[in-house]
Structure 1
């Protein structure tokens, strides 16, 4: 098992920008993904845990991690805005998932928070395929509990990415 990372950084841009970053930092393990639902939208992820090399990074602090990472796979981001009490329940559920073994088809899971906002939680999953993710999600094993989704003040967002072909 590798070193537990303290931070994950991402940035967005087009292929020209992504290639420039990669050329400037050949020593970094940078992975470029394309959004499943937005043509031409690329995201670059730096999982080194080192100081970000991006101009305008989006930073996430790692709260928990389970499984074995496979960054060259389908990834899912589930973002939730949680109050203090919801965070405790949510963290307990995620920690239980991490310790009880990951779902079939999931390589790894990260419990993150947006760097400057502990109430904004992000679950990052690496999966064998989008199909494995969908099978798990449709079996009602979503990261977002129903009681949170039903609240009028609740905010959540999901996004999905597949590795972009290297140029």
Structure 2
């Protein structure tokens, strides 16, 4: 199992140069769905990052068979200690069930730079399957999180560059 995941952002040239410089690594390039000019590189090797300024995450739990060639989603939540316990329990329940249609894998992550940050990384066959799941999944983000003044969440969705 992968123990850590690192990401970085850059131009097509910079990311392609990184990929060429490290052919032994599993470096994947993605386009942001919100902005086709925003490129992200994902290092799923689990080894120490080769990026000069990576965003690094530790894997808390994982389920499924990775599908890095399609659609991926990062849902980031800023949670206090009690909210983290509830969120982790909800994720463990999700991981205890069978994966929804189209979901290939799910990772629960925490940021190396911010212990209160939780990230749910999911890999999918298509973005439409993700949207259906997100709409129907009340386990993921209960309304109590959204009504807390300190609650922060962010979603970033990407499609693999062929």
Measured against the shorter chain, the TM-score band is: over 0.9
Partners of 2:100 and 2:85 lie apart in 1 by: 22
Deviation at 1:116, TM superposition (A): 2.7
Partner Cα distance (1:52, 1:140) in 2: 33
Q: Which SS does the other structure have where 1:91 is aligned?
A: helix
Aligned pair count reads: 162
Q: Does 1:27 align with 2:28?
A: no
1:33-58 residue CA offsets vs partner (Å, 9 max, x unmatched): 00000131000000010011111110
Other-structure match for 1:77: 74
Q: Is the 8 A contact 2:90 2:139 kept in 1?
A: no
**1:106 and 2:82 matched:** no
TM-score normalised over the length of structure 1: 0.93
Confirm or deny: 8 A CA contact 1:80 1:144 kept in the other structure: no
Query: 2:68 is paired with a residue of what secondary structure?
Result: coil
CA contact (8 A) 1:30 1:47 kept: yes
Secondary structure at 1:19 match in 2: helix
Structure 1 unaligned blocks of 5 or more: none
Could you say what secondary structure the match of 1:160 adopts? strand
Match of 1:121 in 2: 118
Q: Distance in 2 between matches of 1:68 and 1:140?
A: 21
**Per-residue deviation, 1:151:** 1.7
- Where does the alignment leave 5 or more consecutive residues of structure 2 unmatched? none
Q: CA shift at 1:142, angstroms?
A: 6.1
Taking only aligned residues, the RMSD between alpha carbons, in angstroms, comes to 1.1
Provide the residue aligned with 1:62 in structure 2.
59
Task: Tell me, in whole angstroms, the C-alpha distance in 2 between the residues paired with 1:120 and 1:6.
Answer: 17
